[in-house]
């Protein structure tokens, strides 16, 4: 099946062709047709399978570009993801000159966002708290919104946005359809579906061999004091050009970023304590290939969507199994091969890694460093 088989407009097909997309992924092929028919959709699909296009394409197709009303609303759990979705929709709307997309999120000056909203965007991408802020200030109206989408619904509801999200949905009086897109279907997602969806189309895309990212996983045991050296060694000996390193805390992110720069590597970090403008600039530099290493915490990393990340390094073993999947899923995207390394510095971390492997049904080959060479442990 091609995108043309889905009955899309020539403008959208042109934009897809320009981006080099000829064939829809499974989630896109299954979600676009019911969405185009204004049906409610609840979709579970692994990270990196193309969920943004699955709801973004039909939303754009439904927009009346001659109207100045807000017609489509997308809620995202983090500002990084909101910005990412906005950028993708703008790319898809490249040949629809009259369609305007705006993004609003917390942690940024509200005045600039009010200016954006005064230009009457037909689609708004938002984090729930900031959207409620704008609604209460009457800087946007929800009475003409036809489609509402919750992206990464599980994460958003886990983060405590349940009340905001339900308030927003209830204020969209003339809603025609509601989309819930998620990597997992939690109890909260089911509750929102039960409360607000009618005759919903359920789509499940399993992490099978067709869409499972092609990622070779390794773990390396090393002494705690050699972790920085090991990370540098991996980047240099493997000739990595675009690497994401994950740490569990903001403090470790900052410290590692400073350490790598001291050793002459182009590195920068994103975490919750860094000003939004600086985070956006860092992400832009990384996407443009001008930054060798991006260091991130799990929360800040939501929405990192760069297709050609060579490698992911887990500097700290993640605290949640799901974090591990999200982390390594930043490489091996768009049918490319990816590789991940997890650094283990204690028996407790080795045990934790075993748990992750069992839960994710993955296998990380064990490596050790000897005489300047990485060797596989039998």
Structure-model confidence comparison of residues 228 and 272, the more confident one: 228
**CA distances (Å), origin 337, targets 8, 328, 330:** 30, 12, 11
Which pLDDT score, from 0 to 100, does residue 150 have?
Answer: 96
How far is it, in rounded angstroms, from Cα 239 to Cα 262?
A: 19
**To the nearest whole number, what is the mean pLDDT of the chain?**
88
Q: Same domain for 242 and 147? A: no
Which pLDDT score, from 0 to 100, does residue 322 have?
Answer: 75
Q: Which of 59-73, 186-200, 358-372 has the highest mean pLDDT?
A: 59-73
Structure-model confidence comparison of residues 75 and 369, the more confident one: 75
Q: Same domain for 147 and 171? A: yes
Among 51-65, 94-108, 173-187, 204-218, which is the least confidently predicted range? 204-218
In a domain, 209, yes or no: no
Q: Whole-prediction pTM value?
A: 0.65
Give me the number of domains the chain comprises: 2
What residue spans of the chain are helical by DSSP H?
Answer: 10-19, 26-36, 51-62, 79-92, 110-117, 128-137, 153-158, 162-171, 187-196, 227-237, 250-262, 276-287, 298-301, 321-328, 347-360
Q: Same domain for 219 and 197? A: no
Instruction: Point out which residues pair with 74 in neighbouring strands.
Output: 125, 149
- Overall average pLDDT of the 178-195 stretch: 89
Which pLDDT score, from 0 to 100, does residue 259 have?
Answer: 95
Which pLDDT score, from 0 to 100, does residue 305 have?
Answer: 66
Q: Which of 112-116, 238-242, 307-311, 360-364 has the highest mean pLDDT?
A: 112-116
Among 28-42, 103-117, 208-222, 320-334, which is the least confidently predicted range? 208-222
Q: Same domain for 47 and 187? A: yes
Q: Same domain for 279 and 197? A: no
- Overall average pLDDT of the 167-196 stretch: 91
- Overall average pLDDT of the 117-144 stretch: 95
Q: Same domain for 226 and 162? A: no
**Which residue range forms the structural domain that includes residue 40?**
4-204
Q: How confident is the model at residue 187 (pLDDT cuts 50, 70, 90)?
A: confident
pLDDT in tens, 17-27: 988 887 898 99
Q: Same domain for 11 and 94? A: yes
Which pLDDT score, from 0 to 100, does residue 324 have?
Answer: 86
- For residues 324 and 266, the answer to whether their CB atoms sit within 8 Å is no
Which pLDDT score, from 0 to 100, does residue 56 have?
Answer: 96
Q: Same domain for 346 and 284? A: yes
- Overall average pLDDT of the 214-233 stretch: 89
274 pLDDT above the threshold of 90: no
Strand order of the β-sheet with 147-151 is 101-104, 123-126, 72-75, 147-151, 177-182, 41-44, 201-204
216 pLDDT above the threshold of 70: yes
Instruction: Point out which residues pair with 214 in neighbouring strands.
Output: 337
Structure-model confidence comparison of residues 55 and 159, the more confident one: 55
Q: Same domain for 159 and 139? A: yes
- For residues 302 and 279, the answer to whether their CB atoms sit within 8 Å is no
Q: Same domain for 200 and 233? A: no
Which pLDDT score, from 0 to 100, does residue 91 have?
Answer: 92
In a domain, 44, yes or no: yes
Q: Same domain for 276 and 356? A: yes
Domain end among 142, 169, 204: 204
Chain-centroid distance, C-alpha 179: 17
Which pLDDT score, from 0 to 100, does residue 336 have?
Answer: 67
- Overall average pLDDT of the 133-150 stretch: 95
Which pLDDT score, from 0 to 100, does residue 188 have?
Answer: 87
In a domain, 344, yes or no: yes
212 pLDDT above the threshold of 60: no
Q: Same domain for 243 and 193? A: no
pLDDT in tens, 41-73: 999 987 777 899 999 999 999 999 999 999 999
Residue 78 CB neighbour total at 10 angstroms:
22
Which pLDDT score, from 0 to 100, does residue 313 have?
Answer: 94
Q: Say which residues have a Cβ less than 8 Å from residue 262's Cβ, sequence separation at least 6.
A: none
How far is it, in rounded angstroms, from Cα 315 to Cα 295?
A: 9
Which pLDDT score, from 0 to 100, does residue 40 have?
Answer: 96
Domain end among 179, 204, 229: 204
Percent of the chain with pLDDT over 90: 54
Q: Domain with 27 in it: what CATH number?
A: 3.40.50.300
pLDDT in tens, 302-330: 656 676 788 999 999 998 887 888 888 88
How far is it, in rounded angstroms, from Cα 180 to Cα 157?
A: 11
The structure tokens 């499974």 sit at 26
Which pLDDT score, from 0 to 100, does residue 209 have?
Answer: 45
- Overall average pLDDT of the 288-311 stretch: 80
Which pLDDT score, from 0 to 100, does residue 302 have?
Answer: 61
How far is it, in rounded angstroms, from Cα 180 to Cα 204?
A: 12
- Token code pair at residue 21: 């997309």
Domain end among 157, 172, 204: 204
- Residue 11 in 3-state DSSP? helix
Longest dimension (CA), the chain: 68
Which pLDDT score, from 0 to 100, does residue 371 have?
Answer: 65
């Amino acid at each position: 099946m091609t995108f043309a088989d889905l009955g899309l407009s020539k403008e959208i097909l042109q934009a897809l062709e320009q981006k080099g997309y000829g064939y829809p992924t499974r989630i896109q092929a299954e979600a676009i047709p019911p969405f185009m028919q204004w049906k409610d959709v609840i979709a579970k699909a692994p990270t990196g399978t193309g969920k943004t296009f699955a709801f973004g394409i039909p939303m754009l197709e439904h927009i009346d570009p001659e109207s100045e009303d807000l017609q489509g609303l997308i809620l995202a759990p983090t500002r990084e993801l909101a910005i990412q979705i906005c950028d993708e929709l703008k790319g898809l709307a490249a040949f629809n000159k009259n369609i305007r997309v705006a993004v609003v999120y917390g942690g940024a000056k509200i005045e600039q966002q009010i200016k954006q909203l005064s230009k009457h965007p037909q689609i708004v991408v938002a984090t729930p708290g900031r959207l409620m802020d704008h609604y209460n200030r009457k800087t946007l109206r929800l009475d003409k919104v036809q489609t509402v989408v919750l992206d990464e619904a599980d994460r958003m509801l886990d983060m405590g946005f349940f009340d905001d999200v339900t308030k927003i949905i209830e204020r969209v009086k003339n809603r025609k359809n509601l989309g819930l897109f998620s990597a997992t279907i939690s109890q909260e997602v089911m509750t929102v579906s039960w409360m607000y969806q009618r005759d919903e189309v359920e789509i499940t895309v399993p992490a099978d061999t067709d869409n499972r990212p092609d990622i070779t996983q390794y773990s390396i045991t090393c002494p705690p004091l050699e972790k920085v050296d090991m990370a540098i060694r991996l980047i240099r000996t493997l000739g990595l050009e675009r690497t994401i390193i994950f740490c569990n805390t903001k403090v470790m992110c900052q410290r590692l970023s400073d350490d790598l720069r001291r050793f002459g590597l182009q590195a920068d970090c994103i975490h919750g304590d860094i000003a939004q403008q600086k985070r956006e600039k860092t992400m832009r530099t990384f996407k443009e290939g001008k930054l060798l290493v991006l260091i991130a915490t799990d929360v800040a990393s939501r929405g990192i969507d760069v297709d050609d990340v060579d490698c992911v390094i887990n500097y700290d073993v993640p605290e949640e199994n799901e974090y591990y999947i999200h982390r390594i899923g930043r490489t091996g995207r768009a049918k490319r091969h990816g590789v991940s390394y997890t650094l283990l510095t204690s028996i407790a971390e080795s045990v934790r890694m075993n748990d992750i492997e069992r839960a994710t049904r993955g296998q990380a080959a064990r490596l050790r460093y000897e005489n300047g060479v990485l060797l596989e442990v039998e």
